[in-house]
Amino acid sequence: MIRNYFKIAFRNLWRHRSFAMLNIGGLAIGMTAGFLIFLYVSFELEYDDFHTKGNRIYRVITDVKTPTETMTVSNTSWAFAPHLEREFPEIESAVRINYLSMLVQHGEKKYNEDQSFAADSAFFKIFDFKLLKGNKNTCLQAPFSLVLSETAAQKYFGDQDPMGKTLKILEEGYPVRITGIMEDIPENSHIKGNMVLSMTTFTQSIDKDDDPDNEWGNFVPSAYVLLRKGTIASALEKKFSGFIDKKVGQSLSIDQMSYSLFLEPLDKIHLWSDRGSNDKGNINNIYVFSVIAVFILLIACINFVNLTTARSVERAREVGIRKVIGAKRSQLVMQFVGESLIISILAFFITLVSTRLSLPYFNQLAGKNMDTHFTFSVSHIFTLLCVALFIGILSGIYPAFILSAYRASRVLKGKFSGSSRGILLRKGLVISQFVIAIGLIIGTIVVHHQMHFMQSRDIGFNKNQVLVMNTGVNHAQKAFKQNLESIPGIASVSLTSAFPGWSNNIAYSQIENNNGDFQKANIGIYFVDFKFIRQFELKIIAGRPFSEKFATDTTQAIILNEKAVKSLGYNKPENVIGKRFEQWGREGEVIGVIKDFNFTSLQNEISPLSLRIEPSRTNFMAALINSEDIPATIKKIEDKWDVFLPQKPFTYFFLDEYFDRQYRSEIRFGRLFLSFSILAIFISCLGLLGLVSYSTLQRKREIGIRKVVGASVTGIVNLLSLQFVKLVAIAFLIASPLIGLVMHYWLNNFAYRISMEWWVFAAGGIIALFIALVTVSFQAVKAAMANPVKSLKTE
């Protein structure tokens, strides 16, 4: 029996090849998209899940409160981790991680290693980063110990064994000993890096005089603690305020500040944390994509059901015959479900192939690096197969019941036409497909509109044609700068400690407020030079910019942004001029106010900012290029670099690109959204195409009669198209408010956002309508052009 079903199914597919291709192809495309999204989602959800002690590892995060604001940071000050470990028996061990961008040299090889960090010796005991060589207990104990990843080891030492060998690090060229080799850190780890330097390198040697282990106010390293078994994190968290009081309570109360410490579970860091890097995942995006995946699968299933039930007229006769020669209804249901299972299993295999082929593109699109090993793991393939079988049964069962219910005596008499219930259902399904498609189109437009808005908005400073280099603060810097200024293609060169898009320092400051008191606040700080304000085209709205004419400007002057002035309680920016300030060991007067500019992503509100002249901290050099020939100018800069800074590799970037990198995850989100919308629309159109061809086939006789009695071709095309226009219109009415709500919610993520205007919705509807009409009209025109005599004769 089963064999007979298979035979029939395969012959049926073969006989109706184009139909089968629509059906299998649509399903396979939908399943591929769904599978890729599923992989993406599980990749994100499985972040940091490879640490065997993971459920006991927590990141220590801090809220720093001042009278005016609360800063929520993902890191701690240097003293927290070692003191927490000593103070609380619940904490088995603690580790600090400090990300570095350090110069590394080995013989002739010289690289700037962005992907490196310093860590305390417990690092390899707490985390399960596998050491291939070296002792996990001791490899990070001694100062100037370095653990390399396999990739880094290969890069510097090739096939030689690096253990015990030395590399030179930092500009000073300290020799470090290789004490371990670790496996490359997995892609799905939020801690990333190619080399791990022992923290003692700084605490016991380089920065020994600053006594970092007792430094409470400088928030730099990330800290992680491993709790003892059975410890309840929330209970431990409650004890932290007492700990802070005991350690630094006094000095904090003088400064009117307070620290609150929290424990963030390791597995929540990547997706749920509200603090940390730009590369962080976002649980909302995960939800959005999961929903999109389900929608795309749904569209594919709907196609399947639609196409199958649309064909029911053709299959009715077969059902009748089978019933007459003895088939039970259950046997027929089995047969039809079996057929749809075969289709879904074929689609499953095609999905495997197409996933393999599209994986590199998808990785690029999503900014992930999922390898085939991860992609085609047994559990993933098993999940896909289950989904395929589920879809097969789900999509097969309805048509199966419809088809098997036909009365043999009726269908064999030829008195059969599609039931009105079936037609209504198909219409409903087409409408729901288009609700999804229109929703995705409108969503795509909104996302891209917002992206465009963010990238083209007046952000209050010039970011074009600015080349930024990290020269470091050194003697050569000044000479290099002067030499650059003499290059014809360079308009201006400025030194600064930060630039928009680069995370600036936050300084504890006291400034005289409207009431004449010294108001304490943590505000952002840019250390700049005299040219900075002009070169970046910042606007002075009160007072004056820094000027070399005033000798005191280098030590006793500060410029604030509007936001800072407002937080001090001044109504007019003029009123703050001449007020006193104290900040990081300097004191003096406010000399000017600049108009607010977006120095962070537009997702965030502009926060208070201060500018000061401080040549000893300006490690970045920004060159404004006014030449047409940018590559030639860069070449000239490189030549000078090699003369003045030969110890460092020449690296640079353009400010606009760097600034826009803040939107990387949003841009990616937008691109993924666009791709999946196109897919969803494409699959919907496949279904529509199939549906239209069947419905015109069924109306062939009607069309013939209409033509004979004098209908024009356009009249018939309109007749056939109009029904689908109606469906799209209904779908539009349902989709608009829904997607409007969703996008409103999404836009709320941005401090600076577009307002959704009516044309966005109109455009979405019109695009969907247009695509639907194009799809429909091919068939409609073909049917309308056909010779009526032919279609009437065959009836």
Single out the residue of 53, 106, 322, 368 in contact with another protein (rule: CB under 8 A).
322
How big is the CA angle at 669 (ends 667 and 674), to the nearest 5 degrees?
95
Structure tokens that stand for 444 in this block: 């795509």
In single-letter form, the type of residue at position 685 comes to: C
Residues 356-415 that bind another protein (CB under 8 A): 407-409, 412-413
User: DSSP 3-state assignment of 283?
Assistant: helix
Q: Which is nearer to another protein, 246 or 328 (CB)?
A: 328
Q: Is 697 in the site for another protein (CB under 8 A)?
A: no
Of 76-84, 315-323, 439-447, 538-546: span binding another protein (CB under 8 A): 315-323
Question: What angle separates helix 329-366 from helix 283-310, to the nearest 10 degrees?
Answer: 140
Of residues 559, 568, 562, 576, the one with CA closest to residue 612: 559
Q: Is 327 in the site for another protein (CB under 8 A)?
A: yes
Q: Is 12 in the site for another protein (CB under 8 A)?
A: yes
Single out the residue of 52, 158, 274, 325 in contact with another protein (rule: CB under 8 A).
325
Binding string, residues 551-580; x marks residues near another protein by CB under 8 A: ------------------------------
Q: How far is the CB of 416 from another protein (least distance, A)?
A: 13
d(CA 728, CA 730): 5
How big is the CA angle at 725 (ends 720 and 420), to the nearest 5 degrees?
65
Across 622-640, b (16+ Cβ under 10 Å) vs e yields bbbbebeeeeebbebbeeb
Of residues 142, 131, 129, the one with CA closest to residue 175: 142
Q: Which is nearer to another protein, 324 or 741 (CB)?
A: 324
Q: How far is the CB of 7 from another protein (least distance, A)?
A: 7
Q: How far is the CB of 660 from another protein (least distance, A)?
A: 59
Q: How far is the CB of 335 from another protein (least distance, A)?
A: 11
Of residues 446, 461, 450, the one with CA closest to residue 752: 450
Q: Which is nearer to another protein, 11 or 452 (CB)?
A: 11
Q: Which is nearer to another protein, 229 or 415 (CB)?
A: 415
d(CA 91, CA 152): 33
Residues 410-449 that bind another protein (CB under 8 A): 412-413
Pure H helices in 88-193 = 123-126, 150-157
Q: How many residues bind another protein (CB under 8 A)?
A: 23
Single out the residue of 109, 328, 452, 726 in contact with another protein (rule: CB under 8 A).
328
* Cα distances (angstroms) measured from residue 5 to each of 1, 337, 509: 6, 10, 81
Q: Is 317 in the site for another protein (CB under 8 A)?
A: yes
Of 238-246, 255-263, 326-334, 548-556: span binding another protein (CB under 8 A): 326-334
Q: Which is nearer to another protein, 413 or 572 (CB)?
A: 413
Single out the residue of 232, 324, 353, 632 in contact with another protein (rule: CB under 8 A).
324
Give residue 537's region: left, alpha or beta (phi > 0; psi -120 to 50). Answer: left
Q: Is 132 in the site for another protein (CB under 8 A)?
A: no
Single out the residue of 321, 386, 630, 632 in contact with another protein (rule: CB under 8 A).
321
DSSP secondary-structure letter at 77?
B
Q: How far is the CB of 332 from another protein (least distance, A)?
A: 10
Which residue(s) pair with 629 in the sheet?
none
Q: Do 713 and 63 touch, CB atoms closer than 8 A?
A: no
Polymer length in residues for the chain: 795
Residues 464-493 that bind another protein (CB under 8 A): none
Single out the residue of 7, 239, 356, 664 in contact with another protein (rule: CB under 8 A).
7
Of 6-14, 87-95, 545-553, 586-594: span binding another protein (CB under 8 A): 6-14
Q: Is 794 in the site for another protein (CB under 8 A)?
A: no
d(CA 565, CA 791): 82
Q: Which is nearer to another protein, 4 or 456 (CB)?
A: 4
Of 279-287, 322-330, 350-358, 702-710: span binding another protein (CB under 8 A): 322-330
Q: Is 8 in the site for another protein (CB under 8 A)?
A: yes
Q: How far is the CB of 310 from another protein (least distance, A)?
A: 18
Across 13-52, b (16+ Cβ under 10 Å) vs e yields beeeeebbebbbbbbbbbbbbbbbbbbbbbbbbebbeebe
Single out the residue of 107, 158, 230, 326 in contact with another protein (rule: CB under 8 A).
326
Q: Which is nearer to another protein, 394 or 412 (CB)?
A: 412
Q: Which is nearer to another protein, 136 or 311 (CB)?
A: 311
How big is the CA angle at 201 (ends 280 and 645), to the nearest 5 degrees?
80
Single out the residue of 11, 208, 246, 539 in contact with another protein (rule: CB under 8 A).
11
Q: Do 303 and 27 touch, CB atoms closer than 8 A?
A: yes
C-alpha dihedral sign at 571, 572, 577, 581 = positive
Q: Which residues bind another protein (CB under 8 A)?
A: 1, 4, 7-8, 11-12, 15, 317-318, 320-322, 324-328, 331, 407-409, 412-413
